[in-house]
């Protein structure tokens, strides 16, 4: 981001008091939009997010003035990059890239060598190209969702050529980072 783009932006870790603002950012996004009632019916409530932040999840947000305009979260127990959202009027300023980097860096620091996320099957959506631009690759398709991964260490040339990657559910079932 240029100095002009970062002026007035503060990036910091999410606290419990920020949770209501996260829902204000998550619901009006352009892609994968949801209502509060839709999030609630999926089990994503203020209380659930608070419990996540107190245990396995950590996240970062961007404020412009006193307004939360974007956030991202990850799950250290599973290595999942869990969510990213930026208000539509703040897109294109590098906020999403910075938030993604903060969450990825934390997941790497917790010991994961490979992290993963769920996204839409639709490769025409901006989210897909955003993740690809940031080094994520297609891993598999499950339950009408695309699973993408990112490796901390570069794949060997043989793995890159063959496209072979370890299946994430096997690693997830073992219940330990990288093992």
pLDDT tens profile 153-176? 645 555 444 444 443 444 443 444
d(CA 56, CA 144): 26
Beta bridge pairs of residue 114: 151
- The model's pLDDT over 89-105, given as tens digits with 9 standing for 90+, comes to 999 999 999 999 999 99
Cα–Cα dist 116/111, whole Å: 14
Per-residue burial over 66-86, b if 16 or more Cβ lie within 10 Å, else e, is eebbbbbbbbbebbbbbbbbb
Say yes or no to pLDDT of 14 above 90.
yes
pLDDT score recorded for residue 164: 42
Count Cα neighbours of 120 within 13 Å in the Cβ-side half-sphere: 12
pLDDT tens digits along 65-122: 889 999 999 999 999 999 999 999 999 999 999 999 999 999 999 999 999 999 999 9
State what percent of residues in the chain have pLDDT above 70.
81
Question: Does pTM top 0.85 for this prediction?
Answer: no
């Amino acid at each position: 981001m240029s100095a002009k783009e970062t002026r007035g932006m503060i990036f910091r870790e999410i606290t419990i008091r920020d949770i209501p603002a996260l829902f204000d950012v998550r619901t009006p996004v352009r892609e994968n939009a949801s209502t509060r009632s839709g999030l609630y019916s999926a089990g994503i409530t203020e209380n659930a997010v608070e419990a996540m932040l107190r245990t396995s999840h950590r996240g970062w947000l961007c404020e412009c003035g006193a307004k939360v305009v974007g956030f991202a979260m990850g799950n250290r127990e599973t290595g999942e990059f869990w969510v990213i959202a930026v208000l539509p009027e703040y897109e294109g300023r590098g906020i999403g890239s910075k938030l993604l980097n903060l969450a990825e860096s934390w997941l790497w620091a917790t010991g994961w060598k490979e992290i993963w996320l769920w996204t839409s099957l639709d490769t025409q959506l901006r989210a897909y190209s955003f993740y690809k631009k940031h080094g994520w690759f297609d891993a598999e398709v499950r339950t009408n969702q695309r699973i993408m991964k990112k490796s901390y260490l570069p794949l060997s040339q043989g793995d890159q050529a063959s496209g072979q990657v370890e299946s994430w559910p096997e690693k997830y079932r073992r219940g330990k980072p990288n093992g």
